[in-house]
Each structure stands twice: as C-alpha cells, then as structure tokens.
Amino acid sequence: MADFTTKKVRNIALFGHGGSGKTSFAEAMLFAAGATDRLGKTADGNTVCDCDPEEIKRKFSINLTLANLVWRDTKINIIDTPGFLDFEGEVRAAIKVCGSAVFVVDAKAGVEVGTEIIWERAASKSKPKAVFINKTDDPDADCEKVIKQLSEMFGRSICPLMIPAKGSQGAAGDLINILEMKRYSYDKNGNRSETDANPDEYSDYREKFNEAVAAVDDELTMKYLEGEEITKEEAVEALQRGIISGEITPVYCGSAMKLWGVRAFLDGVVDSFPYPDRKKNEKIVKNGEVVDMPIQREGPPSVMVFKTIIDQFGRTSYFKVMSGELDNTMTLRNVNTGASEKFSHIYTVRGRKQTEVSSLACGDIGAIVKLSDTNTNDTLTLLPDDFTFTPIEFPEPLYTMAVIPKTKGEEDKIAQGINRMTDEDKTLRFENNPETKQLLISGLGDMQLDVALSRLKARNGVSVDLAIPKVAYRETIRKKVQAEGKHKKQSGGHGQYGHVKITFSPGEAEGLTFTQSVVGGSVPKGYFPAVEKGLLESMQKGVLAGYPVVNLAADLYDGSYHDVDSNELSFKMAAYLAYKDGLPKAAPVLLEPVGELKVTIPESASGTIMGDLNGKRRASVLGMDQVPGRSGYMTISAEAPKAEMGDYAISLRAMTQGKGTFTYKVTRYEEVPSNIAQKIIAEAKASEQ
C-alpha cells in the first residue's frame, strides 16, 4: 500500500518568466513544510531545486527539477521549471505531468512574456492554473496593478484569494485571505498571526470571489442572486471544481523570501487543487488513434517517463504513475521498445536527494535508476493492451552551430558526449554532416548550446569552439558542351591509354545521367563503367568552388583505345580530364539550398518581420494567414535560402519578445545570385591556398 493515496497527492508545476522567483518559491514551500531545515537562496547556490552544477554556477534554473513535501497529511510534488525560452523542452515535460500549473509573477514587473507564452501552452493542454504574485516585499510592488493586468490578459477566470492589506506592501507584510476573511501579519521569521479582516479592505475582491464561485454551480448561483451567504465549505468545493474546469484561476500574493503567504498557498493546494484522477481520463494512442483511457486508482499500473537524467551516477528516469498502483515487486513491459524493466527500486525525489519507497499510488511521481532500454516519452505497463500515452511535444531545434574540437582527434569523444546529452534533452540534436564534413549541434538558442558545451567539458573533458556552419552548396551547368579527355602514359612495359569524347549538358535527374552513343567500337563497352565511375568521382568536386555537382547529363559519343595499354584506370582518368575540360565551358553556376519557411507571430510584429524577411533573409513571401484559435496571431509563409537562416531562431525571438515561432525545411536548390556567388567562390579559393 502506498504511503499516500491518490486523493492525498497533488502535482504542481511552477512556471513563469526568468527571475520571477520560482525556485525561491519552491524553497519557501519546502522550508515552511519542514522538508528542509534552512531557506536556501539561488544567489548562494544552495537551493534544493537548482542542484545541477551548471545551475549553481549560472544562478538560474536549467532543468526540470522535482521536490516533494507533506502538508496536512497530503503529499505535494513540486516541479520547478526554467524561465528562459532556451529550455522550453523542460517546461513542456512539466506541463504534461502536472495536475496544476502555478504561475509565479513578479509583483513589480507584472506579467512578462515568458508567462504569456507558457500560459497559452498550459491552456492548450487544459491544465488547471493558479497564480502566486511574488516579491510583495519590494517597495515598488503593486499587486493591485498586477491583478488588473492578469484580468485584462487572461480573462474573467482570474480570482484573487490573497491580497496585500492596504498600505502594507513593501516592508510590512500584512495579507488578507479573501476566503477566510482573515488578516495575516508576519514577523521577521515568516511566522504569522491572524485577526479578523476589516471588510472595507476586501469587500470589492470578496464580491468578485463570490461571483466566481457562484458561477461554477447552479445552486450557488441562486444563493448568490438571492443574497444568501456562500459557506466556506461550499466555496472550497466550488473552487476545486472551478479550477479543474478552468473557470477559476486563483491568485495568491506574498513573498517567497520572507515566507509571506506561503503557508496559506499550501493550504489552498490541499483544499482546492485537483488530485490526479479528478480529470477522469488520460489521452492515449491506440491503433494509431488518440482516445481516452479511464484513470484507475487500482489494478495493473501504467507509467510514463517524462524526464531522463544521465550523469556520473548513471541513468535516472523520472516517471508518473498514470493509472493503477506501482510497487517494487513488478516488472513492466515497455510498449515502445518491447523491453521488460524491473521496478525493484523506486524512489521519490527532492532535488538531489532520493528516498526509496515500496510503492506509489496512481498519480504520484517517482524515479528509477538504470532502466536499460527506456527513454523519455516511453510508456511502461502491466496491461496487456498495446497503447502509449500521448507524447510530450518537444519544440524542434532550429538553431544550429558547428562544433570545432580544440584538440585534434577528439571527434569520437565529442560525439559520444553530445549524443548522451540528447538522451537527456530532447530539444538537442547532433549530426556528423556528410556533405560539409562538420559536426553540428542544434538547439533552441545560444544559451542552451553554451550550457551543453559546458557540460561536455565537465563530463567528458573535451573543449570545443562553435562556428557558423558551412552551407551545403552545390554546382551545376546551364549549357551543353563537348569535351575531350585523353590519358596517355608510357613508363616502360605496358603503358596507360584512355581517350573519351563526352557531351555534357544539364540533366533532369539529381545525380549523373550517363548515356553512350559510341559507334564502331571506338570505346569498348567494357570500359563504359570505368568512364561512368570517373565522372561520378569527379562530380564530388565542382569547378567553381569545389562543391558537389548535381543534375549532370553526360553522353559518351566517341574516343579511342589501345589493345595493350588501355585499362579501366586509364578510361577513368580520361573521364576526369574530359570533366575538367568541359565543365568550365558549360556555364557552371552555384546552387544554394532553399526552404519553406512558416513564421507564426503576433500581428503587431508583422511589419518588422516582413522587413527582415525581404531584406536580410532574401526571402520571397508567399502569403499571410490568421492563426485559427489564436486571436491576434498570423502565419507568414515564405521561401528563404538556408544561408540566411542560421541565426533566425535568436533574431525572431528578439523581434517578437519570444512570442514568435517558425518552422523551416529545405525543399530544393536554386541558383545563387551572382554577387553572392562571386564572394562564395572567392572564399573557397582562398581557403584552398
């Protein structure tokens, strides 16, 4: 039997803009609940959640981190997330498994862009939401202004439950609990005393609160309209139902660093936030279709892995028990890989600390080490059916840089280290590009890549530099020409002799279209494959800038041979000489990869984006469309050369304050404009010297 039943579990994820105080808020909750014996500080590098060496060094969150506490006999799993957009993959994983999305907002700065972006994503996944307005101890804090801003941006669901008493923001920490109608006063240690609040201080907010809870239930609506008092018990039940449905977003105020409002927030989590099976169903993929699966508290368990960590201690998989109850006697089947995985040692997690448990109830979150054949997004179950839980939709990494080893011969070590990190972070990609002969790493932004390479050095002892990746240009010809190649060599004994005449012309197929129109046996058929092979090898290096040649047609129409001295090598060399003779005369041109670009942006940024696309990006805009279901957003469709897209992930973020997204896929090659081609050719020739 699990230590905590499903009804006694709450899963909350902390979201918000960088610097809003998410990790400090998690630290405050842990300390207030007695889960830690000191209040850690991010600046001091001693918090429970920012426990990765890179987080301690940089003093901000990089990873999704778990921590749990017990409050009023209820287990609360806290998922702390990064606030910077480079680490959005961690945010999406947290949204997948949380029961409630708690947004931490700075009482001075108000609603910032990171909060807007994550709010929209949480709403798209129908996640219950709540807000904690942090840093009310700041002299410039203005909670009333922030609450108004929240209401304007996110609608009528915003329902303040905890507000600063009038005149008490800044050094004084008095808060008013709208539900309890109590005034909380705090000492320097965060201990609170409570008195009945003066109705004049909260009457407006109490009216809004009553309207919100009454709207959830028809009977409460009638009581409200008839002027009857809504009891606390009725309000608590209505709050929970309203939070689940999205009709109510409770707003709390306080200061994490001074513990103001933290205990009242924890009371709210226990009383009103949903337990894991209140939503009744989980989305699964079965027989290729997304369907609902009822959440069963009892019976065979099914779990989903939502995070993988690989460090010096080995491989750790974070999972959520999606249905049933899991215990340490079970061996589960990985539906994705077919492997059997023993769950003989399961843990709960609080930062670095792991505590072994014998079982976990439906909805609880745990960890397991050394799963040999299990990855993030995998489903493991004891049920006989083949199904998987709908996967976390990670953003596509579109910011790519070339990885240059500082020490030669360490390419294999680099590949091994980065590939291991891609198992941890599904928004990282790594490839050894066969065309450009470069090692490439892709992510969501420069900060993410900087962290990855810092980890590479710490874990694998490898130092690298980043460089702008080479573009995989290609060459082709625009004109039909005839060329001749004769290879003749005499050095005692048998010599070498091969002679070909070839017509080169633009080809329809991407590679080489090789034909023969030789008559009279001037070139024996047995040497045709050698000629073709010579041309194929020659095409690997064009005559303009050394890039591969594509769309080339070659017709062998004449030549000669020697009974004794001719051989395959001789005709292969003759083909190469004909290639070198003919292609410079065939109007060779440079080709560049061009792709389909779709940019989704706020309409207010359209002028800036269009100017950038038409100017800096050399793009051709094809059209603009409104985004269905997203008021104020539009998608621009365009075509743009890959050479101009290298920094677009960072530029678009800057131009749209992080609200813009894009997709890009190379679809074809087009001729490079002559002025740009001349520069590319000159650079290629200079690098050869």
Amino acid at 338: G
- Residue 492: what pLDDT? 64
Record the tokens describing residue 632, joined without a space. 């104020």
Report d(CA 76, CA 441) in Å as an integer.
Answer: 37
For the chain, count helices (H), then strands (E). Answer: 16, 37
Report d(CA 52, CA 452) in Å as an integer.
Answer: 13
Instruction: Give pTM, 2 decimals.
Output: 0.91
Same domain, 286 and 248: no
Same domain, 208 and 79: yes
- Residue 467 in any domain: the answer is no
Helical H segments across 33-170, by residue range: 53-58, 88-97, 113-124, 143-154
Q: How far is CA 364 from CA 90, 100, 322, 603, in A?
A: 19, 13, 8, 42
How many domains does the chain fold into?
5
Same domain, 354 and 205: no
Report d(CA 126, CA 123) in Å as an integer.
Answer: 5
The candidate with the shortest Cα–Cα distance to 337, out of 372, 307, 311, is 372
Average pLDDT, the chain: 94
Tokens 């696309």 label which residue?
613
Note the pLDDT tens digit of each residue in 558-599. Answer: 999 998 888 999 999 999 999 999 999 999 999 999 999 999
Note the pLDDT tens digit of each residue in 306-339. Answer: 999 988 778 999 999 999 999 999 999 999 999 9
Tell me phi and psi for residue 71, to 5 degrees: -135, 120
- Residue 468 in any domain: the answer is no
- Residue 394 in any domain: the answer is no
Walk across the sheet containing 100-106 and list its strands. Answer: 65-71, 74-80, 9-15, 100-106, 129-134, 249-253, 158-160
Out of 137-146, 228-237, 475-484, 490-499, which region has the weakest mean confidence (pLDDT)? 490-499
Same domain, 581 and 599: no
Model confidence at 47: pLDDT above 60: yes
Report d(CA 606, CA 599) in Å as an integer.
Answer: 10
Report d(CA 587, CA 477) in Å as an integer.
Answer: 5
**Residue span of the structural domain in which 185 resides:** 6-278
- Residue 312 in any domain: the answer is yes
Model confidence at 383: pLDDT above 90: yes
Taking a C-beta distance cutoff of 8 angstroms, is the pair 57, 630 a contact?
no
What SS3 state is found at 560? strand
- Residue 1 in any domain: the answer is no
Report d(CA 319, CA 375) in Å as an integer.
Answer: 10
- Residue 167: what pLDDT? 63
Residue 620's contacts (CB-CB under 8 Å, 6 or more residues apart) are 638, 639, 640
Walk across the sheet containing 512-516 and list its strands. Answer: 481-489, 496-506, 552-560, 512-516
Report d(CA 218, CA 241) in Å as an integer.
Answer: 13
Report d(CA 273, CA 171) in Å as an integer.
Answer: 30
Model confidence at 169: pLDDT above 60: no
Note the pLDDT tens digit of each residue in 191-242. Answer: 889 999 988 888 889 888 988 999 998 889 898 888 888 888 899 889 999 9
> What CATH number did the domain enclosing 456 receive?
3.30.70.870
Q: Which residues pair with 294 in a beta bridge?
A: 281
* Final residue of a structural domain among 246, 278, 310: 278
- Residue 470 in any domain: the answer is no
Tell me phi and psi for residue 617, to 5 degrees: -90, -10
What SS3 state is found at 212? helix
Report d(CA 563, CA 488) in Å as an integer.
Answer: 13
Share of the chain above pLDDT 70, in %: 99
Same domain, 605 and 566: no
Taking a C-beta distance cutoff of 8 angstroms, is the pair 357, 302 a contact?
no
Tell me phi and psi for residue 670, to 5 degrees: -135, 160
Report d(CA 636, CA 682) in Å as an integer.
Answer: 35
Same domain, 483 and 456: no
- Residue 689: what pLDDT? 62
Tally of CB atoms within 10 A around 676: 15
Out of 55-64, 189-198, 615-624, 638-647, which region has the weakest mean confidence (pLDDT)? 189-198
Taking a C-beta distance cutoff of 8 angstroms, is the pair 41, 24 a contact?
yes
Same domain, 274 and 294: no
Residues constituting the chain: 689
Amino acid at 193: S
Model confidence at 378: pLDDT above 80: yes
Amino acid at 517: S
Burial (CB count <10 Å: 0-12, 13-18, 19+), residue 42:
buried
Same domain, 438 and 582: no
Same domain, 235 and 272: yes
Model confidence at 440: pLDDT above 90: yes
> What CATH number did the domain enclosing 322 receive?
2.40.30.10
∠ CA(642), CA(646), CA(649), 5° rounding? 115
- Residue 466 in any domain: the answer is no
* Final residue of a structural domain among 586, 621, 645: 586
* Final residue of a structural domain among 552, 586, 620: 586
Record the tokens describing residue 27, joined without a space. 């630290």
More confident of the two residues 230 and 112: 112
Same domain, 157 and 187: yes
* b/e per residue 616-632 (b: at least 16 CB within 10 A): ebbbebeebeeeeeeee
Taking a C-beta distance cutoff of 8 angstroms, is the pair 220, 238 a contact?
yes
Report d(CA 2, CA 523) in Å as an integer.
Answer: 83
> What CATH number did the domain enclosing 623 receive?
3.30.70.240
Report d(CA 272, CA 688) in Å as an integer.
Answer: 70
The candidate with the shortest Cα–Cα distance to 649, out of 85, 115, 117, is 85
- Residue 469 in any domain: the answer is no
Same domain, 196 and 214: yes
Note the pLDDT tens digit of each residue in 57-83. Answer: 999 999 999 999 999 999 999 999 999
Taking a C-beta distance cutoff of 8 angstroms, is the pair 426, 444 a contact?
no
Record the tokens describing residue 163, joined without a space. 């507000």
Record the tokens describing residue 319, joined without a space. 């999972």
Same domain, 173 and 84: yes
